[in-house]
Structure 1
């Protein structure tokens, strides 16, 4: 029964975002316990912090996810960000390696990439986010920076990884750059 409910939830999610949830269904089929744990990950990854920091959070999710994937997971994050009202041009700039020009979205993107790389720039980015948006925003972008790679790495580990692809941003096909 649990497996059926999990798979139905995964399928609804996949239909909503045109996202292949085959790996999620595989997990639920293999272990209800693992499926339940997977279903709890959004409670962690989707902590977005204050409303005025949503673009920073979305940039951090994109930066982290792009570090782990350049295909379906990045497309999912872009679609979710657009649904949340994140400006398409700012997302596009980040995807094209122009995060410095992407405002708050770029700030979050750069934060995630600096956190992942343990870059010395991280401290200054953290201080900027905290001074502009507060401590809860720093927590949200830290959650995003650490969680965006979970799904792509999990998919690859299970044999469901896909090759890199172009990302569609509201009808415009973007070739992803891994340079920020």
Structure 2
């Protein structure tokens, strides 16, 4: 019964985002308990803080995901961001290595990349996020920076890694360098 429910939920998500959920189906077949654990992950990374800081959170999640993958997981993050109202040009600028041109999305993106690489300048960007959007926004960006790589790494570990691809930013398709 639980397997059927989990399979149905995965199929629905896959259809909604045109996303290959075969790794989810495989995981459900092997271990429903593991699949339930996977289903809990969004509660961690989707802590978004205040509405004013949503763009910075989006940029941080995109950076973390792109750092781990430039394939289907990155496209899923882009699609979800666009569905949430993110500016496609700002998302594209970040993905193309021009986050300084992407406003608050770029601020979150730069913060996440620096936090991931251990760059001490991440503290300056965290303070900038706090100053502009509040401490809760900085916390949400830290959560996003830490979590975006979970799915790409998990998928590769399960044998479902994908090569880099073109990303679609609301109708503008761009080939990213690996």
Q: Structure 1 length as normaliser, TM-score?
A: 0.96
Q: Secondary structure at the match of 2:168?
A: strand
Unaligned runs of 5+ in 1: none
1 CA distance for matches of 2:62 and 2:153?
Answer: 15
Confirm whether residue 44 of structure 1 aligns to residue 44 of structure 2.
yes
Which whole-Å deviations, capped at 9, do the CAs of 1:2-50 have from their partners, x for residues lacking one? 1111111111111111111110111111001101101111111111111
Deviation at 1:86, TM superposition (A): 0.7
2 CA distance for matches of 1:139 and 1:55?
Answer: 14
Unaligned runs of 5+ in 2: none
The equivalences for 1:146-157 within 5 A come to 146-157=146-157
1 CA distance for matches of 2:158 and 2:115?
Answer: 26
Q: Secondary structure at the match of 2:165?
A: coil
* C-alpha contact (below 8 Å) 1:64/1:144 kept by paired residues: yes
Displaced runs of 4 or more, over 4 A: none
2 CA distance for matches of 1:135 and 1:28?
Answer: 37
The equivalences for 1:39-118 within 5 A come to 39-118=39-118
Aligned residues: 178
Q: Structure 2 length as normaliser, TM-score?
A: 0.97
Deviation at 1:121, TM superposition (A): 1.1
1 CA distance for matches of 2:7 and 2:138?
Answer: 33
Deviation at 1:177, TM superposition (A): 4.6
Which whole-Å deviations, capped at 9, do the CAs of 1:51-93 have from their partners, x for residues lacking one? 1111101000000000000110110000000011111110010
1 CA distance for matches of 2:118 and 2:152?
Answer: 20
Deviation at 1:176, TM superposition (A): 2.0
Deviation at 1:175, TM superposition (A): 2.1
2 CA distance for matches of 1:170 and 1:102?
Answer: 16
CA RMSD of aligned residues (A): 0.9
